[in-house]
Structure 1
Amino acid sequence: MRYTRFMLDGKATLGVREDDRIRVVGTESLESLLARGIDLVEYGRMPGSVWVDPRDVTLLPPLSRPPKTFCIGLNYADHTAESVYEQPDYPTIFPRFHTSFVAHDAPIVRPRCSDSLDFEGELAVVIGKGGRHIAKEDALTCIAGYSVFNDGSVREYQFKSPQWTVGKNFDGTGGFGPDFVTADEIPPGGKGLHLQTRLNGEVVQSASTDDMLFDVATIISIISEAITLEPGDLIVTGTPSGIGWARKPRLLMKPGDVCEVSISQVGTLVNPIVDEQD
């Protein structure tokens, strides 16, 4: 089942994408449905008589306010090798806040205080069934579905301190969408998916999710050792090599650029780049 969120008659609305149309299923958010324990595959099969053309509506991020968003850094060895860091033996975990999210086709915003806006294509995982001390062998049963994320990073601010939080959370820098795809449509744990990032049509990142150092099940298990996972929590699983900051000369996103992140079977997220306005 492929869910998408959009504005309809002034309200945030949830729909199921079918071919080139969206069937409206209601106004309750995915976070709320997950918190109530609703089976999203069954829920999406409910008949509906209202259909919209995705070209006629403004899309929204699949989740508006996840209870928590965890991002995983340095989760591909080739990306760590191009960075200034040693490869850690424990996941590098940092938060993202919902005010940084932007939808498919919405602009990613380069902040006025820095021109060091970089791209990071990543697989996003949505938790359906939470808990604490989740065993690795049980972790994949906790996944509700998947989406695409562009972890837009303001590198100048990311490296101002040992903690990356500020550089990873500028408003309007986290592309997210276009769809939430239920777990039954994706290989378990998102294994074997091809991830590709393109800047102005040029391929800048290309990898398999099999290259993750900490796979999805391991990430879920490790996070839950310390933090209770809740329905609707979002985990952004890391980026492969090819980031603009590591290139010579550097290749950073600027106004007028278009960044696309594609993940096989999940979708393609497209965001133009604009400057922050006064």
Structure 2
Amino acid sequence: MKLLRYGAPGQEKPGLLDDTNLVRDLSSLVSDIAGESLLPEALDKLSKADIAALPVVAGTPQEDLRLGPCVGSVGKFICIGLNYSDHAAESGLEVPPEPVVFNKWTSAIVGPDDDVEIPRGSQKTDWEVELAIVIGKGGRYIEEADAMDHVAGFCVVNDVSEREYQIERSGTWDKGKGCDTFGPLGPWLVTKDEVGDFNNLDMWLEVDGKRYQNGSSSTMVYKVPFLVSYLSKFMSLQPGDVISTGTPPGVGMGQKPPVYLKGGEVMTLGIDKLGSQTQKVVKA
């Protein structure tokens, strides 16, 4: 299933993209694509619903029908750094012996095609296409062999990053990662049964039509089941938590010379089977 949330910011309703690319309203079945509606039994119930009997939502998604973040009421937005061997190399850094963990604040979350704002005073705003895990069944101390039982599905994230704030301003990475609008999420949450082999998904990102990132989840160092298990040792994972798993090479910081967003650009990015995003870059 491709689950989504549509409508004006803060007023999104739950929906589903059917096989003909029409959006079906799920309001009669779930209150939101969030929390307990992502539990395995809830997703199983949705998968058995008569989709053709559900109301069709007017408009074309991502054209004249706005999509909001594909997960609502996200409790934790957890990110993994330097998790692609080729991205670590372009950053001039070693692959870490354990995953680098940081946070994006949930106030950074926006829809997949909403504007991305450059923070006031920023000189080094950058892009990162990433595969995100959406937690279904929560848990602590999850065994790696059981980890996929806790995954509801996957989605696209643009891990927008301010590199000066992240690297040069002292302290943790978080201050350069969680600015408002730095977490476009969607267009849809694709359930794991429909994604199939999540270890071999093509990923790409363009700025003003120029392809900068062109990678694959196959070069991910710490794989999805390991990450779910690893993180559950340090915190309880809960339904609707989002884990962004790192980016392939081609970020602005890695260009020679570096290329950063200044305002006015258009970013387009996507992942095989998970859809694409388009964001205009504006100044805050």
TM-score by structure 1 length? Answer: 0.93
AA at the equivalent of 1:171: D
* Structure 1 match to 2:96: 88
* Structure 1 match to 2:110: 102
Which of 154, 159, 174 pairs up with 2:183?
Answer: 174
Which of 193, 196, 219 pairs up with 1:184?
Answer: 193
1:39-94 Cα shifts (integer Å, max 9, x gaps): 32531534312432223332211123211111000001111112243321100001
Q: Secondary structure at the match of 1:51?
A: coil
- Determine the C-alpha separation between the residues in 2 that align with 1:77 and 1:24: 41
- Determine the C-alpha separation between the residues in 2 that align with 1:174 and 1:117: 13
AA at the equivalent of 2:147: A
Is the contact made by 1:41 and 1:182 (CA closer than 8 Å) also made in structure 2? no
Aligned-pair identity (%)? 35
1:86-111 Cα shifts (integer Å, max 9, x gaps): 32110000111121112122111111
Distance 1:200 1:10, change over 3 A: closer
- 1:48 matched to 2:54? The reply is yes
* Structure 1 match to 2:234: 226
Runs of 4+, deviation exceeding 6 Å:
none
Is the contact made by 2:16 and 2:23 (CA closer than 8 Å) also made in structure 1? yes
Q: Secondary structure at the match of 1:52?
A: coil
Distance 1:229 1:255, change over 3 A: same
- Determine the C-alpha separation between the residues in 2 that align with 1:103 and 1:35: 19
- Determine the C-alpha separation between the residues in 2 that align with 1:191 and 1:177: 19
1:126-156 Cα shifts (integer Å, max 9, x gaps): 0101111111111111110110000000111
- Determine the C-alpha separation between the residues in 1 that align with 2:103 and 2:192: 23
AA at the equivalent of 1:94: F
- Determine the C-alpha separation between the residues in 1 that align with 2:157 and 2:10: 26
AA at the equivalent of 2:183: G
Q: Which runs of 5+ in 1 are unaligned?
A: none
Is the contact made by 1:70 and 1:95 (CA closer than 8 Å) also made in structure 2? yes
Is the contact made by 1:64 and 1:98 (CA closer than 8 Å) also made in structure 2? no
Q: Secondary structure at the match of 1:138?
A: helix
Pairing of 1:50-199 with structure 2 (within 5 A) = 50-53=56-59, 54=61, 55-159=63-167, 160-188=169-197, 190-199=198-207
Distance 1:4 1:110, change over 3 A: same
Deviation at 1:200, TM superposition (A): 1.2
AA at the equivalent of 1:179: W
Is the contact made by 2:4 and 2:14 (CA closer than 8 Å) also made in structure 1? yes
Q: Secondary structure at the match of 1:259?
A: strand
AA at the equivalent of 2:181: G
Deviation at 1:114, TM superposition (A): 0.7
Kindly report the root-mean-square deviation, in angstroms, between the aligned alpha carbons of the 2 structures.
1.9
- Determine the C-alpha separation between the residues in 1 that align with 2:46 and 2:262: 41
- Determine the C-alpha separation between the residues in 2 that align with 1:38 and 1:272: 38
- 1:31 matched to 2:34? The reply is yes
Distance 1:9 1:240, change over 3 A: closer
Is the contact made by 1:8 and 1:57 (CA closer than 8 Å) also made in structure 2? no
Which of 249, 252, 258 pairs up with 2:266?
Answer: 258
* Structure 2 match to 1:235: 243
Distance 1:8 1:111, change over 3 A: closer
Aligned residue pair count: 275
- Determine the C-alpha separation between the residues in 2 that align with 1:203 and 1:35: 34
AA at the equivalent of 2:54: G
TM-score by structure 2 length? Answer: 0.91
- Determine the C-alpha separation between the residues in 2 that align with 1:235 and 1:242: 21
- Determine the C-alpha separation between the residues in 1 that align with 2:8 and 2:85: 43
AA at the equivalent of 1:187: G
* Structure 2 match to 1:4: 4
The structure where strand makes up a greater share of residues is 1
AA at the equivalent of 1:177: G
AA at the equivalent of 2:160: G
